[in-house]
Amino acid sequence: MAPASVVISPSGTAAVRVASALSDREAGWRLVHHLARFVDEARVPGVVCAIPTYDAVLIEVDPAEVSLARLGDYLAQVVEGLDHDRPLTATPRTFDVPVLYDVDGELDLPTVAEAQGLSVQEIVRLHSEPTYVVRCLGAPGGSPMLDGPPFPHPVPRLASPRAHVPQGVVSVAGRQATITPAAAPGGWPLIGRTPLVVLDLAAEPFVPYEPGDLVRFRSIDRDEYESLLSTRMVAR
Amino acid sequence: MTAGAAPTGASAAGVLTVVEAGSTQITDLGRTRGPRYGVPVNGALDQRSARVANILVGNPDGAPLLELTALDLEFVADVDTLIAVAGADGHLTVDGVGRPSNEPVSVRAGETVALRQLQGGLRAYLAVRGSFEVPLLLGSCAPDSVLGFGGRLVAGSEIALRSATAPIFNDHFAAELYSLDVPRVAHGFIVDVTDGPDIEDFADTAARLFEQPYLVTPTSNHIGLRMTGPLPERRTTGEVLSRGVPVGAVEVPPGDELLVLHRGRGVTAGYPVLAVVTSGSLDVLAQVRPGQRLRFRPVSAVEAAARARAELVELDTLRHRVRSVFAALDALSTPPTGRTLP
């Protein structure tokens, strides 16, 4: 039986999803990340990898080695023993991310502002004010997935996704925000660009931050953007 | 970064030079350490055929090999090799002489190997005994178009071979040496799915998935297959947070197409997962061409697991048979005629 703090559902024949059922979103996020780390570190036989996100972790398995039902029972036991109050990182690092916001309207910033009923400047202020927690690494290329800025409404995704979104764009969607480390197709509205290089294929992982680290955005002008191009993203 | 590593001097036993590249890449069973870092698993789309090709030449299942998509391949190696082809049916020739797929085939140094006219499927796999010396990223050589790692071979690409294999021929009867009986996959594109974790979001429209065949559209690739047909509809509203999505997830994004994610899929996405394609049927999807139709079929998790186990047993049986054959050949060989397998 699954404990009340999570819902465990099969996701096909080679994965289970463990979703938090806690009402406290922060605790739920910590819980799924602690669970992911546990299965990584314990090298649970049959577990191929864990993909923790905001409120859920997808655990991929080799079905030849472990049955999903048995794994589910085991994970339920593990969850019972996890302390979801324990912070994810004892000393989070902070990454300052300079952003050339799309005040000239080359990307989607004016559309986002209009949909929120705010000015472009207010959007820039709301986006660059908070300190964001890296919730998880996502697609594409280990994007730092963040909570959205305190906009009045969720941000609608683009009606037709772009076939090519360049690396370094700063985007928002729904109640989420991110930076794109690698060029890929994408349906999130783009509100700016950072000159920083996020991806380093020689490192493992390829991105410098991990879940629990902090991100701050800072508005810069075109000259500063040009001067910072190709600088690596590093912690403060 | 390039797909074909330059020969690494002393460590390379030989070099395979691509004459006609078609749409071929070097890959393996995928970057299993990738998804936890937000990087897709990628790798051979038809995992079973990739395993079969490697097993037939005595390689580990996950050894780097060639994946052909639709188009012809021609190459020459400067050392003797043992190769095997599996997956979509094609016309394999060595210096113009037809040779069988699904069996080990000896090739002498300098002979031209061609694999042409793929049909009945989209992807074929060609393994070389000893495999290739290629760059790895997180333990895998699988190309990743998003990270810009690896890529398609071009005419003139050179691939370092880890070992040479002296030719094994039946001197007396010129008959085939092997009868390995590679299990065939049933024809017809039936794709088995189990219920997805979000099936309830689609209420009574979920059953539309099984009503009629779907037509695969040209925008399909290794990231996902797009298809037209009766679309289930999400009946719930509200923002969906990005979550990890499994390979094989069946989703209904905005627009008029069904999306089935394959091994190049982004690790996280914000669409509810209606159903998930079984591992065996992911191999079927790897062989469907745009313009072809397929049908989804619901299976229980128990049934799907039983079939997956049966497929593993088949591969195990093949692996043992190949080992026995190679062991027997080894026993028969006399060093001066160079029949020994390294």
CATH code for the domain in which residue A51 is found? 3.30.1360.40
In a domain, B69, yes or no: yes
In a domain, A235, yes or no: no
**Between residues B168 and A18, the one the model is more confident about:** A18
Q: What is the 3-state secondary structure (H, E, C) of chain A?
A: CCCCCEEEEECCCCEEEEEECCCCHHHHHHHHHHHHHHHHHCCCCCEEEEEECCCEEEEEECCCCCCHHHHHHHHHHHHHCCCCCCCCCCCCCEEEEEEEECCCCCCCHHHHHHHHCCCHHHHHHHHHCCEEECCEEECCCCEEEEECCCCCCCECCCCCCEEEECCCEEEEEECEEEECCCCEEECCCEEEECCCECCCCCCCCCCCCCCCCEEEEEECCHHHHHHHCCCECCCC
Query: Do residues B179 and B226 share a domain?
Result: no
**Both structure tokens of B122:** 């989209």
**Which of A7, A9, A11 should one mutate to test binding to chain B, selecting the residue with the greatest count of B CBs within 10 A?**
A11
Query: Do residues A107 and A63 share a domain?
Result: no
The per-residue pLDDT for range A58-106, each reduced to its tens digit, is: 999 988 888 888 999 999 999 999 999 999 999 999 999 999 999 999 9
Please report residues of B whose CB lies closer than 8 A to that of A51. 35-36, 244, 267-268
Packing angle of the helix pair B301-332, B47-56 (nearest 10 deg): 20
The count of structural domains within chain B is: 2
Q: In the prediction, which pLDDT does B325 show? A: 87
**Both structure tokens of B10:** 């002393």
Rounded to the nearest angstrom, the gap between the alpha carbon of residue B73 and the centroid of all alpha carbons in its chain is 16
Query: Do residues B22 and B159 share a domain?
Result: yes
d(CA B55, CA B168): 17
Answer yes or no: do A136 and B267 touch at CB < 8 A.
no
- Give me the CATH number covering residue B295: 2.40.100.10
Distance from the Cα of B23 to chain A's closest Cα (Å) equals 21
In a domain, B85, yes or no: yes
Answer yes or no: do B197 and A17 touch at CB < 8 A.
yes
Domain stop point among A55, A80, A105: A80
The per-residue pLDDT for range B234-292, each reduced to its tens digit, is: 998 877 789 999 999 999 988 899 999 999 999 998 889 999 999 999 999 999 999 99
In a domain, A1, yes or no: no
d(CA B169, CA B172): 9
Query: Do residues A99 and A215 share a domain?
Result: yes
Query: Do residues A125 and A193 share a domain?
Result: yes
In a domain, B210, yes or no: yes
Taking CA–CA distances from A15, the nearest residue in chain B reads B246
**Between residues B305 and B161, the one the model is more confident about:** B161
For residue B285, CA distances in Å to B188, B227, B274, B300 come to: 11, 12, 17, 19
Taking CA–CA distances from A209, the nearest residue in chain B reads B37
Q: In the prediction, which pLDDT does B186 show? A: 66
The DSSP annotation for B244-297 comes to E--TTEEE--SSS-EEEE-TT--SEESS---EEE-HHHHHHHTTPPTT-EEEEE
Q: What is the mean pLDDT of each run of 10 residues along chain A (236 residues)?
A: 81 94 96 95 90 96 87 94 93 97 95 97 97 94 95 90 91 95 91 96 91 97 96 94
Q: In the prediction, which pLDDT does A185 show? A: 84
Query: Do residues A31 and A72 share a domain?
Result: yes
Task: Say if residues B284 and B268 touch (Cβ distance below 8 Å).
Answer: no
Answer yes or no: do A64 and B312 touch at CB < 8 A.
yes
d(CA B245, CA B272): 9
> Mapping DSSP to helix (H, G, I), strand (E, B) and coil, where does residue B185 land?
coil
Query: Do residues A71 and A141 share a domain?
Result: no
Q: Which of B38, B278, B312 sits opposite A138 (nearest CB)?
A: B38
Residue with tokens 């969607």: A173
d(CA A188, CA A135): 17
In a domain, A124, yes or no: yes
Q: In the prediction, which pLDDT does B117 show? A: 96
E strand or H helix that includes residue B310: helix B301-332
Query: Do residues A112 and A164 share a domain?
Result: yes
Q: Sorting pLDDT into bands at 50, 70 and 90, what band is B331? A: low
A205 in the Ramachandran plot: left (φ > 0), alpha (ψ -120 to 50) or beta?
beta
The per-residue pLDDT for range B189-231, each reduced to its tens digit, is: 999 999 999 999 999 999 999 999 999 999 999 999 999 999 9
Distance from the Cα of A107 to chain B's closest Cα (Å) equals 21
Query: Do residues A209 and A185 share a domain?
Result: yes
The count of structural domains within chain A is: 2
The domain in which residue B51 lies consists of: 14-185
Report which residue type is found at A160: S
Q: Which of B22, B67, B20, B60 is nearest to B43 (CA)?
A: B67
Query: Do residues A59 and A108 share a domain?
Result: no
In a domain, B328, yes or no: no
The whole-model pTM stands at 0.91
d(CA A18, CA A11): 10
In a domain, B236, yes or no: yes
Q: Which of B244, B246, B273 sits opposite A57 (nearest CB)?
A: B244
Query: Do residues A64 and A141 share a domain?
Result: no
A142 touches B at CB < 8 Å: yes
Query: Do residues B115 and B137 share a domain?
Result: yes
Query: Do residues B57 and B116 share a domain?
Result: yes
Query: Do residues B181 and B83 share a domain?
Result: yes
Task: Say if residues B123 and B46 touch (Cβ distance below 8 Å).
Answer: yes
Q: How big is chain B, counted in residues? A: 342
The domain in which residue A153 lies consists of: 94-228
Please report residues of A whose CB lies closer than 8 A to that of B38. 136-143, 207
In a domain, A88, yes or no: no
Distance from the Cα of A161 to chain B's closest Cα (Å) equals 10
Q: Which of A213, A208, A212, A214 is nearest to A232 (CA)?
A: A208
- Give me the CATH number covering residue A150: 2.40.100.10
d(CA A157, CA B313): 45
Task: Say if residues B246 and B260 touch (Cβ distance below 8 Å).
Answer: no
Answer yes or no: do A145 and B308 touch at CB < 8 A.
no
Distance from the Cα of A221 to chain B's closest Cα (Å) equals 28
A21 touches B at CB < 8 Å: no
Answer yes or no: do B146 and A140 touch at CB < 8 A.
yes
